[in-house]
Amino acid sequence: MFVSAIIVAGGRGERIGTTIPKQFLEINGIPILSLCLLYFEKTEIVNEVIIVVLPEWIDYVKKRIVLKGRFEKVSRIIEGGKLRQDSFQNGLAVASGEIIIDNDSARPFPGMLDVDGMVKECTKVGAIVPVIPVSDTVKYVGKDNVKKTIDRKNLFCVQTPQVFKKELCEKAYKRAEEDKFYGSDTASLLENANIPVFTTPGSIFNIKITMKDDLVLAGLINQYYFNRR
């Protein structure tokens, strides 16, 4: 079984309010993208890593991230598309694996999840994503006031890495093109194609860097995690 990890690093991270994309910001002196790659470099279940990045950052990623970090599993650094969905599709087109791992470059700690277990389960079920239950009260808000409270009983936040059989991803993307459908993650494309997507427990420590406060939390998680090692 050959496993390809696609790291989607094509976003500009405008919400975080920095002059460079958030995936290149540092946590305790290490770029976020490098922290993400560290896990996939070390885990035996992954055979190759493909990085999808903004065209103007390809050279930087090659020299300052991949070569400097000696990430030998990185087989390709390719140009991303207009939206995340397009970027992942670019990576999917050149991936050699029967199993595809989809991870956001802004999630520096994929190792907080049992990715090996997800890959093994994926060979049985075809598609699996990590989720965490919504713990806060959820409000539907209109222009300037609360419209209603939403029952959170069956609400979950979805994370990456997400793991899929490649053939199912290709089928889902073909259907998305036919429907002119755009989703916020790869799993939503499979849902659109009526392909079952199964879940596994995520982790609150598998955070996604979105706002500046997340950098502080990530620094604490990184310090605690590696100090335990």
CATH of the domain at 17: 3.90.550.10
Please enumerate in sequence order all residues whose Cβ is within 8 A of that of 43, keeping only pairs 6 or more positions apart, or say none: 111, 115, 116
Q: Is the pLDDT of residue 75 over 90?
A: yes
* Furthest-apart CA atoms within the chain: distance in Å: 52
> Residue 13: what pLDDT?
65
C-alpha 207 chain-centroid distance: 10
Domain of 46, in residue numbers: 3-128+158-228
Distance separating the N- and C-terminal Cα atoms of the chain: 30
- Does residue 28 lie within any of the structural domains? yes
Listed residue (194, 166, 196, 200) closest to 181, CA to CA: 194
Q: Is the pLDDT of residue 229 over 70?
A: no
Query: Which residue type is seen at 149?
Result: T
Q: Is the pLDDT of residue 180 over 90?
A: yes
How many folded domains does the chain comprise? 1
Vertex 39, ends 160 and 54: CA angle to 5°? 60
- What is the pLDDT averaged over residues 143-149? 92
> Residue 224: what pLDDT?
84
> Residue 64: what pLDDT?
94
Tokens coding 80: 């991303």
Q: Is the pLDDT of residue 123 over 70?
A: yes
Listed residue (212, 217, 213, 229) closest to 38, CA to CA: 229
* Structure letter (DSSP) for residue 61: I
> Residue 227: what pLDDT?
56
> Residue 20: what pLDDT?
87
Please enumerate in sequence order all residues whose Cβ is within 8 A of that of 177, keeping only pairs 6 or more positions apart, or say none: none
- Does residue 143 lie within any of the structural domains? no
Q: What pTM was estimated for this model as a whole?
A: 0.93
> Residue 19: what pLDDT?
79
- Does residue 151 lie within any of the structural domains? no
- Does residue 176 lie within any of the structural domains? yes
- Does residue 223 lie within any of the structural domains? yes
Please enumerate in sequence order all residues whose Cβ is within 8 A of that of 17, keeping only pairs 6 or more positions apart, or say none: 212
3-state secondary structure (DSSP) of residue 219: helix
> Residue 225: what pLDDT?
76
